Amino acid sequence: MKLRYLAVLALSGCGAEQEHRLTSPDGDLVLTLSEGERGRIEYSLSHNNRAVLEPSPLGLVLNDARFDTNLTLVDAGEVSEVTDRYTMAHGKQREISYSANEQVFSVKNAEGDSLKVAFRLSDDGLAFQYRIPNETGKSRSLNRELTGFDFSSNSKAWLQPVAVAQTGFANTNPSYEEHYQMNIPVGTDSPTEAGWVFPSLFYTGNDWVLITEAGMDGRFNASRLAQQSPEGEYRIGKPMEAEVVTNGALMANADSAFASPWRIVTVGDLATVTESTLGTDLAAPAVAEMDWVTPGLSAWSWALLKDESVNVKTTREFIDYAAQMNWPYVLIDVNWDQNFGWEKLAELVNYANPKNVGLLVWYNSSGEWNETEYTPKSKLFDRESRLQQFARLQEIGIKGVKIDFFPGDGQSVMQYYHDLVSDAADHNLMVNYHGSSLPRGLHRTYPNMMTMESVNGFEMITFTQQTADKAPSHMAMLPFTRNVFDPMDFTPTTFDEIPNIERRTSNGFELALPVLFTSGIQHIAETPQGMAKVPEYIREYLRDIPTLWDETRLLTGMPGEHAVIARRRGSDWFIAGINGTDSEKSLNLDLSFIDKASGQLITDGDTDRSFRQSEIVNQDDFAITLRPRGGFVINF
């Protein structure tokens, strides 16, 4: 990352009641920083001269200092240009360039304690970070954060509630697995005291706004929006007391200088927000190159066959299935240590290796923070035990681990995520977190962090008809929220029927999901038996889907209603679209950016459980009609 000082300051030095302005490189976004009533520091944001955020509060309360009222802006640093170029191991865009204007402000309270706030404005949004000094070496901790995001009263929101800690299956909540409340008035209370998860989506009437955070280093707790937002002013909320590992801390703490994660406010039309890379732009650079990390698709027996499928015979069948589909992985889920153990696991590795299939195995993260009985359990929390497990997995040739059932968003949990993925990297193991928090850019810092669940995913559809009924609209939300910045292990796609559940999505809808959703390892829910029932051209299509893309474009969409996304790998374009509504939807797609004359279209046939394949001529204005809860793919 490079810093270059600009020749002209955004505004002159600090003074009483003086405003300070910072603009984005293209000049369209403007941040205004000012001193408000009672000595509060406030910021506001505009885009093309229209308000995005009204004056909104800044501040922290630490264990030994308050930065809420009676604050003074004592210094406005020079405006500098920040540029960065980096490469991702997996995700929606491989090569990424970032450019922003940065200004760092120094603040003091009435007691003379100091705090710095760094702001960055890029063409697609605002990011800001608190920088907390520590010259004494004594422990400093966060009591609460006062940051707010104040929207005008006519704005709308698309938000997911946070589940109350220590509720749900075996007390495993929160896991970011609730459904979104869509198009609600700003100021609507969360139905739970725990608040709303990030990313949080808003529409001001002019601009779409997506709020999240990135740049976690393990010393800070994860954040969310608080339950109440009077008059549209949303405040940063904190985890509930139970969201910690055994004997772990809840809130940020350090005995040296430390910084908050970057608070990110992405702004623009829906395409700008959906295509943005701010979630990785603001994350820490990769700790190492990790050229052994290989993204790809995976077969997974547990999705439809559940616990009984974790046995040697079924695993061999899924290894053969993955080999036939040209997928590089098979995931072995819960209780493998009890059902067949280490010796048979090594034999399965030896069976899979000649077929160019790598094996991934499941672990329970838990120490004492939930009541799950699935094993291997209590093997990873103690570092000495963890290193022994990882060394043994590496020795027999396991490629990665799926680690499940985390306790929430407390600082100690964030540190645990970092410790696990770091130690896994030392043993050439890829990582998939389930029952988890949001990645928050962790996959840039640790390229072996392939994916995280943190979503009401496919497994939830198999549990209740109510979830299956909501699935089409829910899945049409995810490209605009959960999956914008971070990999998401939804575990998509089945064409056969789900036991005891009436699937509401069409086969074309299901076929679109592995391209519509991004995940470093894309676990496919369909079984060998179900895949054998579809036409060969479907299997052929699924053999060639990348999980690392060079370019991503939103062609059209509306959160909770429909989404059409185009992704490029090399010279090949994959377009995927879904209709999350109960009505037929006609769309016109601008395909003028594709320089190929013809492509293959696969869409729904005469029924929801059939396909139709055709060759299409590329047109700048391509018309397509989607069935209710239907979908399609195009490959150029």
Contact 327, 298 (CB under 8 A): yes
Q: Is 569 exposed, middle or buried (0-12, 13-18, 19+ CB in 10 A)?
A: middle
Contact (CB, 8 A) for 382 and 369: no
Q: Widest CA span of the chain, in angstroms?
A: 75
Sign of the C-alpha dihedral computed for residues 89, 92, 94 and 98 taken in this order = negative
Distance CA 233, CA 226 (A): 10
C-alpha of 41 from chain center: 30
C-alpha atoms less than 13 angstroms from C-alpha of 626 in its C-beta half-sphere: 31
Question: Per the structure block, which two tokens stand in for 161?
Answer: 């509630």
Confirm if 103 and 75 have CB atoms less than 8 A apart. Answer: no
Q: Is 409 a catalytic residue?
A: no
Q: Which two tokens stand for residue 8?
A: 């002209």
207, 459, 604, 608: the active-site residue: 459
Helix then strand then coil, % of the chain, to nearest 5: 20, 35, 45
Closest-CA residue to 487 (of 442, 546, 445, 430): 442
Q: Would you list the DSSP string of 578-632? A: EE-SSS-EEEEEE-TT---SEEEEEEE-SSTT-EEEEEEE--SEEEEEEPTT-EE
> Catalytic site residue 459?
yes
Q: The tokens of 3 are what?
A: 């810093």
Q: Check 404, 496, 526, 604 and give the catalytic one.
A: 404
Tell me the residue ranges of DSSP E strands in 139-288.
140-145, 148-150, 156-159, 181-185, 200-203, 208-214, 224-225, 233-237, 253-254, 258-259, 262-268
Q: Residue 532 is which amino acid?
A: A
Letter for the amino acid at 360? L
Strand, coil or helix: 421: helix
223 contacts: CB under 8 Å, gap ≥ 6: 145, 198, 213, 236, 237, 238, 261, 409
User: Does residue 258 contact residue 134 with C-beta atoms inside 8 Å?
Assistant: yes
Torsion angle of the four alpha carbons 624, 625, 630, 635, in this order, in degrees rounded to the nearest 10: -10
Helix (H, G, I), strand (E, B) or coil at 32: strand
Q: Which of 135, 190, 130, 138 has the alpha carbon at shortest distance from 159? A: 190
Per the CB < 8 A criterion, the answer to whether 305 and 499 are in contact is no
CA atoms within 13 A on the CB side of 617: 1
Pairing of strands 562-569, 572-579: antiparallel
**Positions marked catalytic:** 404, 459
